C-alpha cells in the first residue's frame, strides 16, 4: 500500500494472512500469559561481575579518576573550543566542569 493509503497496481487491498495478529486468524489457539522471573539470574550476573572486578576494586578511586580525566579533557581549550564547550553547557548537553584549567 502506498503512503497515501491507496493500493498500488498489483498490491492486495487486504493485509496478507501472515501479517494479521495470531488471535485474528481463523483456527488460532488462544494466547497464553508467560511470566519469567529473571531476578535470580540478575543476582548471579552481579556476583560474577563483582568477582571479576576482584577484591582490590575501589569504586571511589575509580570515580575520582574519572573526574580527574574529565577535568583534563576540558582543560586548556582554545578560544573556539571554549566557545563550543560553553554553548554545549548552556544547551544542557554537557555538565559544567572545572574552570577551564588543568587540575593540579
Cα 86 to chain centroid, rounded: 25
Alpha carbon separation from 76 to 7, 9, 86, 88, 101 (Å, rounded): 61, 64, 14, 17, 6
- Count the Cβ atoms, other than its own, within 10 Å of residue 74: 21
Residue-level pLDDT, tens digit, the chain, 104 residues: 545 556 566 555 555 655 666 666 777 788 888 888 999 999 999 999 999 999 999 999 999 999 899 888 888 899 999 999 999 999 999 888 765 544 44
Cα 26 to chain centroid, rounded: 40
Amino acid at each position: 500500500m502506498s503512503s497515501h493509503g491507496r493500493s498500488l497496481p498489483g498490491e492486495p487491498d487486504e493485509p496478507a494472512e501472515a501479517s494479521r495478529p495470531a488471535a485474528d486468524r481463523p483456527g488460532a489457539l488462544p494466547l497464553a500469559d508467560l511470566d519469567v522471573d529473571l531476578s535470580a539470574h540478575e543476582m548471579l550476573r552481579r556476583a560474577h561481575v563483582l568477582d571479576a572486578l576482584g577484591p582490590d576494586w575501589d569504586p571511589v578511586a575509580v570515580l575520582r579518576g574519572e573526574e580527574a580525566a574529565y577535568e583534563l579533557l576540558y582543560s586548556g581549550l582554545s578560544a573556539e573550543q571554549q566557545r563550543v564547550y560553553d554553548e554545549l553547557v548552556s544547551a544542557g548537553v554537557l555538565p559544567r566542569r572545572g574552570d577551564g584549567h588543568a587540575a593540579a
